[in-house]
Amino acid sequence: MRRRGQELEDALLEAAYAELTEGGLAAFTLDRVATRAQTSRPVLYRRWPNREELVIAAIRHHDDRNRPPIPDTGSLRGDLIALLKGANRHRMQLITPVLAQLSGYFLETGRTPAELRRELIGERVTSDLTIIRRAIDRGEIDPARITPRVAALPFDLFRHELLMTQAAVPDEVIEEIVDHIALPIMTGTIPPPR
């Protein structure tokens, strides 16, 4: 039975992600992806004009398929902590096999990690922005306090910790990021004593 449409595209992206995580970017070729997906190179080229775009599409596909639900605990603090703890579990599964493989991608393409992140997110409303919008709707924060940098702050600090240690971020560090840095800036409140 011949695969078509979304079924075919899913199979191609899953094969591409498997090739990337198993062999790394140096061994990543459209021939290998086509062989794994049991199709031909022209089928791939009709969707992605080069391997760099296929790499991005494969990572985005994997991330979208494995994204945890956006937490809704009823409070900004609870949502931020739950989001970062969920990301801790989810991102460690993503970062371990892929991050080491992407150094060649950055050298090859001249792109930066920030540019790759923008490409992976695309037009999607991120989980942190959803949580912030809910908190604004509940009256927990004044929207005038929330600049793009402030909105990104909890995840930026989390991501920095994750990348610098290449290990799961301890719960107490997540709580410190939220309680002592993010919430005071977002709400204007004084952090609880340590």
Q: For the chain, give every domain's residue range.
A: 5-62, 69-187
Q: Residue 71: pLDDT above 80?
A: yes
CATH fold of 69-187: Tetracycline Repressor; domain 2 (1.10.357)
Q: Give the burial string for 92-122 (b: 16+ CB within 10 Å, else e).
A: eebbeebeebbeebeeebebeeeebeeeeee
Per-residue DSSP letters for 138-189?
A: TTSS-GGG--HHHHHHHHHHHHHHHHHH-SPPPHHHHHHIIIIIIHHHHH-P
CB distance 61 to 17 below 8 Å: yes
Cβ neighbours for 12, distance < 8 A, ≥ 6 positions apart: 33, 37, 39, 43, 44, 47
Tokens of residue 176, six digits? 């410190």
Max avg pLDDT among 4-18, 50-64, 68-82: 68-82
Quote the longest CA-to-CA distance of the chain.
64
Query: Residue 82: what pLDDT?
Result: 96
Max avg pLDDT among 39-48, 89-98, 133-142, 185-194: 133-142
Mean pLDDT, the chain, rounded, equals 86
Per residue in 75-130, pLDDT tens?
999 999 999 999 888 766 666 556 666 667 777 778 887 787 777 777 777 889 99
Query: Residue 170: what pLDDT?
Result: 95
Helix (H) or strand (E) holding 59: helix 51-65
Q: Residue 15: pLDDT above 80?
A: yes
Query: Does 109 or 57 have the greater pLDDT score?
Result: 57
Identify the DSSP state of 184.
Answer: H
Query: Residue 13: what pLDDT?
Result: 94
Query: Residue 91: what pLDDT?
Result: 65
Q: Determine the Cα–Cα distance for residues 27 and 85; give it in Å rounded to an integer.
A: 33
CATH fourth-level superfamily of 5-62: Homeodomain-like (1.10.10.60)
Q: Which one, of 41, 167, 47, 30, lies nearest residue 96 by Cα? A: 167
pTM, whole model, 2 decimals? 0.75
